[in-house]
Amino acid sequence: MQGTFNSITSKIISNGLYFFWIDYFRDNINKHTNLSPVKTEFLAGNISGILTAVVSNPISAVKYRNWDKQWPASKVISRMYSDNGIKPFFKGTMSRIYRDSTFSCVYVMSHYYGKKQLGDTRWLFLSDNLAVMGATIISSPFNYTMNRMYAVKPYEQCPSTMTFLRKLYYGAIKQERPLVYVINRMHVGVGTVRISLGITI
């Protein structure tokens, strides 16, 4: 159960902010611009995804470091700060922004068109689940690089997103079944279903 409280806290903050901000920015874009509904949804989803990524990344960085230790979160935070100041809390932020904005593009636009075509029906629930699965799979390379960045020790220099993606590519082409290798590295599977149900519900 290590890291459970941290995980609950990060979910409350990230999901709570994400859905609130989508409504908030949608309303304000409608109020102050003449953009089409499609552009409004696109902008609201992306701004929300980027802001949520920036706010919640330090919490996730602490959660990752806490998984292999039997320490309270306050001690992990103190150790991270003493190792390299504020930098360790923002490792992975760009990968998280790429991940969340990619996810938002797919999910928010799919939900918009799904609701337009299907209305508030059980079919929309199914459509949203498929949209979240698709969004999760498409954004999974950035989720992979984000977690690799979290794994870098606080006092070490963190490689870029592209560095990790290149390593993944070169690792894949050496395999007998490159696609299976990449899918396994992305952890596409049960976790994808968990995310789709969580977001949709």
Q: How far is CA 138 from the centre of its chain?
A: 11
pLDDT band at 139; cut points 50, 70, 90: very high
Q: What is the pLDDT of residue 14?
A: 85
144 touches 159 (CB < 8 A)? no
| Gap between the Cα atoms of 110 and 1, Å rounded | 35
Mean pLDDT check: name the lowest of 84-98, 121-135, 161-175, 186-200. Answer: 186-200
Q: What is the value of pTM for the model shown?
A: 0.84
Return phi, psi of residue 68, to 5°.
-105, 15
Q: How far is CA 85 from the centre of its chain?
A: 24
Give the tens place of pLDDT for each residue, 147-196. Answer: 999 988 888 888 999 999 999 999 999 999 999 999 989 888 888 898 89
Alpha carbon distances (Å) from 88 to 72, 96, 136, 196: 17, 14, 25, 29
What 3-state class would DSSP assign to 67?
coil
